[in-house]
Structure 1
Amino acid sequence: MMKTPNLFLITVFAALAIGACKPQNNGNVQTSADAELLKGTINDSTARRLVKNFGGRAHSFKHGGIIRPDTRTVWFSKEQLKALINRIDSEKGDGIRFYLAAYDSVKKSDTKNIKDAYMNYATLIMVSTRYDSLNQVHADYYKNLKGADGKNGGIIMAIPENQGELCPPPATCAKSGATLLP
């Protein structure tokens, strides 16, 4: 039975994901441009504590007859992230919303490219957003919305992005490079 993540968990996960994507500088010196944009940075001990807090809320499930812990990290290559950001820039988007999700327990026709080992595990889906000034929200966009002229095709459509590398599996995430897990 999958638990529904609450807003706090989604916010924490998004903050950790954004912090993990922070560009590295020599000597960890933050430029003034970075300081203006990276408002949610936290130190590594705080990050470890928050990740540990989530561990008690993450569920386990039966996979292949064995009780397994659910996914705790999702990795995307910088090329995949840059391509998504470039697409959003070209479409005049303003950001990315991160959705916590879970793969089906058995493969479906639309998930045939997902690794068998990932079935039933949690995952992360990234959806591009644009600012909706009428409603004053950062609205998801991944459908062919009507433009100001009433015709379809106002944007190119950065469709939801998925298929990051999950951890677990494997059971030993530290060997995959995940350092914040206890």
Structure 2
Amino acid sequence: MKKISLFLLGVFIGAFVTYYFFTNSSVADTPITDVVPPKGLITPQKAKMLDEAFDSRHALISKSIVMRPDNRSTWWSLEDMQKYLAYAEKESADLGYTMTGVRVYLGAYPTVEEVGYTTMFLVPTGAKDLSKAGSTFFSMTQDGKGDIPGGSGLNDGGMGNPPFVSYPQ
């Protein structure tokens, strides 16, 4: 009888602890201090320096070639970015690739669409899976930085606000 009592007490304590941890923890409870900065993070000062270094190129194109101000940035909502990344990762897997990143390309609209303004679009990058099972261990033979053939890109971001100004907006 004593062993059964101890067993039931252990089950009760285990159930209570499990309930406490699973009902009181969520992503929202995770402190922001646990977030690790990504590789390549730059300061606002560095961003401003990069933007100013681009100014002479942008001025040359705007004044000499297109003869008008051109778009300097593209904006996507956080929701659109999250949806695109989830979609691109699934589509990449369906195409037999492991998505490892995203590449940003500069483009320009045909003059009949958007007066030829500059745009930016994203495409998924990754490596071809070697095994049909898609095991992460066996799936990568390349560096994973190549564009995924047949992978959908994301465009349709909004121009900056206003579109022709430099960093920061």
Q: TM-score, normalised by structure 2?
A: 0.59
> Do the aligned partners of residues 32 and 40 (structure 1) sit closer, same or farther apart at CA in structure 2, a change above 3 Å counting?
farther
Structure 2 residues not aligned, in runs of 5+: 1-30, 129-139
Q: Report whether the alignment pairs 1:141 with 2:148.
A: yes
Once the 2 structures are TM-superposed, how far is the Cα of residue 55 of structure 1 from its aligned partner?
A: 1.3
The corresponding residue for 1:51 is 51
Structure of higher CA gyration radius: 2
Once the 2 structures are TM-superposed, how far is the Cα of residue 119 of structure 1 from its aligned partner?
A: 2.5
The corresponding residue for 1:120 is 116
> Do the aligned partners of residues 30 and 61 (structure 1) sit closer, same or farther apart at CA in structure 2, a change above 3 Å counting?
farther
The corresponding residue for 1:81 is 81
The corresponding residue for 2:102 is 96
Structure 1 residues not aligned, in runs of 5+: 1-28, 108-117, 144-156
- Number of residue equivalences: 120
Structure number having the greater helix percentage: 2
Q: Report whether the alignment pairs 1:161 with 2:154.
A: yes
Deviations 1:125-177 (A, max 9, x none): 1001123433434221251xxxxxxxxxxxxx4x1110111137645x4xxxx
Choose the corresponding residue for 2:126, options 106, 109, 130: 130
Q: TM-score, normalised by structure 1?
A: 0.55
Q: State the identity %.
A: 27
* Cα-Cα RMSD: 2.9
Once the 2 structures are TM-superposed, how far is the Cα of residue 104 of structure 1 from its aligned partner?
A: 0.8
> Do the aligned partners of residues 53 and 169 (structure 1) sit closer, same or farther apart at CA in structure 2, a change above 3 Å counting?
same
Once the 2 structures are TM-superposed, how far is the Cα of residue 30 of structure 1 from its aligned partner?
A: 7.2
